A = this chain, B = another copy of it.
Amino acid sequence: MPGILLETLRGKQGDKVPMWLMRQAGRYLPEYRELRAQKGGFLELAYDSEAASEVTLQPVRRFGFDGAILFSDILVIPHAMGQDLWFEAGEGPRLAPPLVDGAWQGLESVKERLDPVYETVRLTRAALGEETTMLGFAGSPWTVATYMVAGQGSKDQADTRALAYRDPAAFGSLIEAIESATVDYLIGQIDAGVEAVQLFDSWAGSLAPDQFERWVIAPNARIVAKLKEARPDVPVIGFPKGSGAKLPAYARETGVDAVGVDETVDPQWAARELPADMPVQGNLDPLLLLAGGEALGIRVETILRAFSDRPHVFNLGHGIGQHTPIAHVEALVAQVRGWRG
């Protein structure tokens, strides 16, 4: 008997709205902070399968979420492709060397780096009740490429956007290499036990429309096609953050089963413009969850109502912030659980 999250992602609308939160295994939880302090850094935690599995389970135990999302990072793919990866305290990820001028041709794949991730999935799936859906994920090629090219997060992804204009053929070969690694990686996650996967295109929003077609829609469509061929029963959630008015084209053209909607999108507009009956996921502003209060309850109601005519997975519009009070999450869970559309 599959859980209500998986059923909803398969397009079935039940009485209850399933929920999980992006970055739900994270620093807002005291039990997470404790385990992370023991392990040292973020990456040490992510590559320690037992610890990563424990961290994946923590928010499900505490809040009873309908989905457990693998604790990992989108940058394990560049790491497995052969780039060095580390996290600078308080600053974020670093990848070396930055991949200018075709430097990715020299990378040597280190696929063993993904084995601990698969082991995390196995351990977690074995510990979960069948009512909870195990979610896997990967970064989409465009977003992963922006880190690989810049060697770190970057304002407006300008270096990568400029490279894509300057030498689209060379940049396309990088995108294809990421695509291929991503398909293998997601199949590995599925075979280890994940029941649905999400493709995070966190920086889709910085692209001009023709570039969005070429570097967001096309690569995601190719990944979905390959996944559907290999593992046809596993729903794929696409999350092209910041895509604004281009979201309906993404939903129609990539073949994803469901779309994640970020918090800047009017849910009534999304409900009107997205393909009828396509499951949607979203889209509460994490900063409103941080603030809490009456406005939070009103907004949650607005979102639930807007998506009440189609399968809906309640979620944030992006990851939960580390200073979010636990009590606000509890209030949110109670409200979504109590909702009758």
Q: Determine the chain B residues whose CB is within 8 A of the CB of A321 once the complex forms.
A: 158
CB pair A245 B263 closer than 8 Å: no
By a CB distance below 8 angstroms, the chain B residues around A299 are 208, 210
A207-264 at interface with B (beta carbon < 8 Å)? 207-212, 242-247, 263-264
A288 within 8 A of B: yes
Alpha-carbon distance A185/B173, docked complex (angstroms): 51
Q: A244-B244, A247-B245 are in contact. Are A209 and B162 (CB under 8 A)?
A: no
Residues of A in contact with B (beta carbons under 8 Å apart)? 158, 161-162, 165-166, 168, 205-212, 242-247, 263-267, 269, 273, 285, 287-288, 290-291, 295, 299, 302, 317, 321
**With A205-B264, A246-B264 given, can you name 16 additional A-B contacts, CB distance below 8 Å?**
A158-B321, A162-B287, A162-B290, A162-B291, A165-B291, A165-B295, A205-B205, A207-B264, A208-B263, A208-B264, A208-B285, A208-B317, A209-B267, A209-B269, A242-B244, A245-B266
For this complex, 13 residue pairs linking A to B, each with C-beta atoms less than 8 Å apart, are: A161-B287, A162-B287, A162-B290, A165-B287, A165-B288, A165-B290, A205-B205, A205-B264, A242-B244, A243-B244, A244-B246, A246-B264, A246-B266
In the complex, the 7 A-B pairs of residues with the closest C-beta atoms, listed nearest first: A244-B244, A165-B291, A209-B266, A245-B245, A208-B285, A208-B263, A166-B291
Q: In the docked arrangement, what's the CA distance between A269 and B291, Å?
A: 35
Main secondary structure of the interface of A (DSSP, over half): helix
Q: How far, in Å, is A298 (CB) from chain B's closest CB?
A: 9
Shortest distance in angstroms between A319's beta carbon and chain B's nearest beta carbon? 11
Query: A243 — which chain B residues lie within 8 A by C-beta?
Result: 244
